[in-house]
Structure 1
Amino acid sequence: MARESLVDVVVAALLERIADGRTPPGGLLPPESELAEEHEVSRLTLREALKVLQAQGVVEVERGRGTRVRPAAQWTSIRAVAHVHDRSGGADAPLHLLQLRRMVETGAAELAATHRTDDDLAELERHLEQMRAAHERGDVEAFVAADIAFHDVVLHASGNPFVAVLLGPLSAVLRARRHETSQHEPVQVHAVAEHAGVLEALRRGDPAASRAAMESHMDQTLRDLQHYVLA
């Protein structure tokens, strides 16, 4: 395994340590030698992983004391926040994620109404058909993949390069959450209908209707989350 891959693995493991409370925010990580032995990596690899977390604002080195985990509010990596919050945030974690999606994706849909191209519309139609086909054959993995791809097209069609970059780091968490809800057949039925509504509004080039359609989709997603997952 390449060192870069090992570094990524160790970074994820250290975030897991923070998430499960072994070293909570404010706490000191174990000594480098102990962590290196625990993860079966060299101290050089461990230090590289710690440098990644330090650059993300997750940890800070206190001379003479060790490496301390900073409060999550001070972290600068969306990916790190999502990784830890998704595992330690309880019922609030998926709700917070949906709140972020609502804020970003409704605005993206509004922008996409006037920026989308014919190719964007064709791609959205293709992903919607993939969702329908996956639903018919009971393929949850394919359904989730098409669902996420549909939303990615909307984000890019907004014409704002910051939009897709903002949600990109959350892709792993989003996929896990979509898979969790899409296990339930009624959720897939709702999703197909809501995505069709978004596509129709975008096809008409109506910004207000596109925003409202995405808002409706987020409302339905919240209801499904509360009924099938959080109940």
Structure 2
Amino acid sequence: MPRKSLVSVVADALLDRIVSGDLDVGAPLPSEAEIGEAYDVSRVTVREALRVLTTQGIVRVTSGIGSVVTPLEDWQSLAAILRYRSARGNDGEVATQLIAVRRMFEAEAAALAAPRLNGAALDELASCVERMRGASGAGDVDAFVEADLRFHDLILRGSGNVFLAALFEPLTRVLAERRAQTSRVPEIQRHAIDEHAAVLAALREGDAVRARAAMEHHMQQTLQDLHTYVLAESD
């Protein structure tokens, strides 16, 4: 894994302070000199780190004050929002909201992809399902998640709507981490394999209505499994 740049290290460290509540909404960040001293970096590095957070909407520059933390609704980084909500909110609510977002994106993507997918794409989708089966039997969670994510990526890209894949891409990185957690549950793996097979069957028929319904059912099963096998254990 490549080493993170100093700019990323400082930006992440400041975000950690914001997420932990050490720096709250409206609170001014330390001066550039103080940040540089705390992390033993140059002012140029500090400025670049602050620029990263500003670009993501996490901080803003206020005249006479300097950089201050903005309200969460102004943030533009999905990963940062998830870190904040997971640390300072109800993780079950966060997971439920993510599934709701997936439902909106992926059900429509399946409907759009159904009449468009060619034989090669359908064969690759079938390969993903088989890889999920094999990985489940071998207890290989990483391979299971990889095949799962590839299945959904193929459908998004097969929808013919370039905006769907582009908008969903940041969410994919977040979902990869969460899938690695939930996919450790054997029951969830079995349900996921069955649901993916049902979506594939609908796509093979080229039926947009059935494909949308199959993906909707998959998202509902995912939500049910979340509450049954993950959130129930944490209560």
| Range 98-107 or range 29-38, more displaced | 29-38
* Partner secondary structure for residue 28 of structure 2: coil
User: Distance between the aligned counterparts of 1:39 and 1:215, measured in 2?
Assistant: 47
**Are the counterparts in 2 of residues 113 and 210 from structure 1 also a CA contact under 8 Å?**
yes
State the AA in 2 paired with 1:93.
V
Whether 1:61 and 2:61 are equivalent positions in the alignment is yes
CA distance change for structure 1 residues 47 and 140 in 2, over 3 Å: closer, same or farther?
A: same
Q: Which residue of 2 aligns with 1:204?
A: 205
Q: 1:185 Cα deviation (Å)? A: 0.5
Q: Which residue of 2 aligns with 1:27?
A: 27
Q: Which residue of 2 aligns with 1:92?
A: 93
| Range 53-62 or range 25-34, more displaced | 25-34
Trace 1:125-144 onto structure 2 (pairs within 5 A).
125-144=126-145
State the AA in 2 paired with 1:166.
L
Q: 1:173 Cα deviation (Å)? A: 1.6
**Are the counterparts in 2 of residues 82 and 170 from structure 1 also a CA contact under 8 Å?**
no
* Partner secondary structure for residue 76 of structure 1: coil
State the AA in 1 paired with 2:105.
V
Q: 1:222 Cα deviation (Å)? A: 0.5
User: Distance between the aligned counterparts of 1:13 and 1:54, measured in 2?
Assistant: 15
User: Distance between the aligned counterparts of 1:39 and 1:109, measured in 2?
Assistant: 47
User: Distance between the aligned counterparts of 1:108 and 1:70, measured in 2?
Assistant: 34
CA distance change for structure 1 residues 27 and 204 in 2, over 3 Å: closer, same or farther?
A: same
* Partner secondary structure for residue 193 of structure 2: helix
Trace 1:112-127 onto structure 2 (pairs within 5 A).
112-127=113-128
Q: 1:72 Cα deviation (Å)? A: 1.5
Q: Which residue of 1 aligns with 2:8?
A: 8
State TM-score, norm by structure 1.
Answer: 0.92
**Are the counterparts in 2 of residues 128 and 192 from structure 1 also a CA contact under 8 Å?**
yes
**Are the counterparts in 2 of residues 86 and 173 from structure 1 also a CA contact under 8 Å?**
no
Q: Which residue of 2 aligns with 1:148?
A: 149
User: Distance between the aligned counterparts of 1:118 and 1:86, measured in 2?
Assistant: 41
1:158-184 alpha-carbon deviations (Å, 9 max, x no partner) = 111111111211233201111111111
Gaps of 5+ in 2: none
Q: 1:63 Cα deviation (Å)? A: 2.2
User: Distance between the aligned counterparts of 2:37 and 2:175, measured in 1?
Assistant: 33
Q: 1:4 Cα deviation (Å)? A: 7.7
1:96-146 alpha-carbon deviations (Å, 9 max, x no partner) = 111111111111111111222222111111111110100010011111111
* Partner secondary structure for residue 94 of structure 1: helix
State TM-score, norm by structure 2.
Answer: 0.91
How high is the sequence identity, in percent, across the aligned residues?
A: 49
Q: Which residue of 2 aligns with 1:82?
A: 82
* Partner secondary structure for residue 22 of structure 1: coil
Gaps of 5+ in 1: none
**Total equivalences in the alignment:** 230
User: Distance between the aligned counterparts of 1:67 and 1:51, measured in 2?
Assistant: 10
State the AA in 1 paired with 2:171.
L
Q: Which residue of 1 aligns with 2:214?
A: 213
